[in-house]
Amino acid sequence: MIKLGFYITLAIILALGAVWFANHPGLVVLSWQGWQVRMSVAVLLLLFLLYTLLCGLLFRLYFWFRVDNPLNSLTRQKKRGKRGLAQLDLGWSAMAVDDQEAALKHGKKAHGLLPKNHGPLRLLLKVATDADRQKYLTRLQHDPNSRMVALKYRLENDIKIEDNSSALALLEEMHQLKPGNSWISHKYFDILTRLGRWSAATTQLDKLVKTKAIDKSMQKHLRAVLCYSQALEADLAGDKTTARDQARQALKYDPAFIPAAGLLSRHYLAAGNKSRARQVIEACWKRAPHPDLGTLFLDLEPVETPGEKFRRIEKLTALNADHRHSLHLRAQVGLESENWAAVKQALSSIIKNNQESSESFHLLARLEIRQKHDEQAAEAHLAQAANAAPNPLWHCAACGTSQDKYSPTCPQCHTFGQITP
């Protein structure tokens, strides 16, 4: 009741005041620099009231932006973050099925929702146009937390275009950022070998062993490949002495290194030293038979009867009798000498040990034609050959690529020293 009485009294006073001001409007004059503004007291009071209301409204708006603004609220930021991560996932999913257009669209949306997150930039780096890609690359490179991502991308591009000098400079910078990183150390070694910096590559190889990035057995094999690479370089330059010395050194590090044995035996054969060539081939065949060595061994005696050739091959293959290449070579020469029993025995051993390949069935087809003139049986073996495992002579242990000829560096993944029989 007291409050009600107060409000009624206040209303009466305001009403009486309004009536009084209506009967006595008065005049307020504001003068400034020759300008005059005339208004009644009632209008002045109304303006003052409106000014007060406007100031209160502006204060509330300022408070809203500082405290209650939903644009900066934690809840809204979390929602934007979730949407951004969802777009990023969709982008990588599109990338997984090679849908670059969708990946680019989702990547841009994710970047808009996550402007401070470098995840979208990594995606856009893979799918954007060259001009935009450089922009994203620059942003990543200028941030210390993502600089390594940008350097790795540039490194992969330099390796792709075979700019090995630039790749080496990038790896040196990456090594400074991550001095103990095994992947960087391996890549640094590979690039040194591509540039033919054999001394630096040998030093880097020793560092890899010290940091236990590779074991000592792999170190010996890589040392052998380094020596073999230098032997090839010397051979192409006409320095036969250095080529033989490096090939011998390679076999000291890895006695089963077939390419070095082949190179050294060819040098001995060219010099007319068949005995030394045969010793090199036999020593390597005992550890690692290979068709390339078999071909060289056959070339040692170009003029001989089929029977003499078979007896010589029997001695060679006896050094590693159960190996697939030994059995194939025995069957191949047995066909030439018409030693059908030896051919059947060799090929039966291969099939029994589940070592058969396309070459095995081709040899069986030749046997059917040569011995029995059975074209139907031969065709059946040829059909088996089409479905059998191929005969890759070399493959890369790093990426699995097969190739017919040995090379120190894999032509597919550019890894050094990983080509194996």
Residue 284: band (very low, low, confident or very high) from pLDDT cuts 50, 70, 90: very high
pLDDT of residue 319 exceeding 90, the answer is: yes
**Comparing 12-21, 186-195, 286-295, 336-345, which segment has the lowest mean pLDDT?**
12-21
Dist. CA 235–CA 252, nearest whole Å: 19
> 395: phi > 0 → left, psi -120 to 50 → alpha, else beta; which?
beta
List 32's β-bridge partners, or say none: 35
pLDDT of residue 72 exceeding 70, the answer is: no
**Comparing 64-78, 109-123, 200-214, 336-350, which segment has the lowest mean pLDDT?**
64-78
Residue 392: band (very low, low, confident or very high) from pLDDT cuts 50, 70, 90: low
Which of the 8 DSSP states describes residue 416?
B
**Comparing 60-74, 179-193, 377-391, which segment has the lowest mean pLDDT?**
60-74
Residue 117: band (very low, low, confident or very high) from pLDDT cuts 50, 70, 90: confident
Q: By the 8 A CB rule, do 84 and 117 touch?
A: yes
Q: Which residues have a Cβ under 8 Å from the Cβ of 321 and sit 6 or more positions away?
A: none
Dist. CA 255–CA 221, nearest whole Å: 9
Mean of pLDDT over the chain: 85
More confident residue, 73 or 334: 334
Q: Which residues have a Cβ under 8 Å from the Cβ of 122 and sit 6 or more positions away?
A: 140, 149
Mean pLDDT of 38-46: 70
Q: Which amino acid, one-letter code, is at 377?
A: A
Mean pLDDT of 408-412: 86
Dist. CA 319–CA 285, nearest whole Å: 7
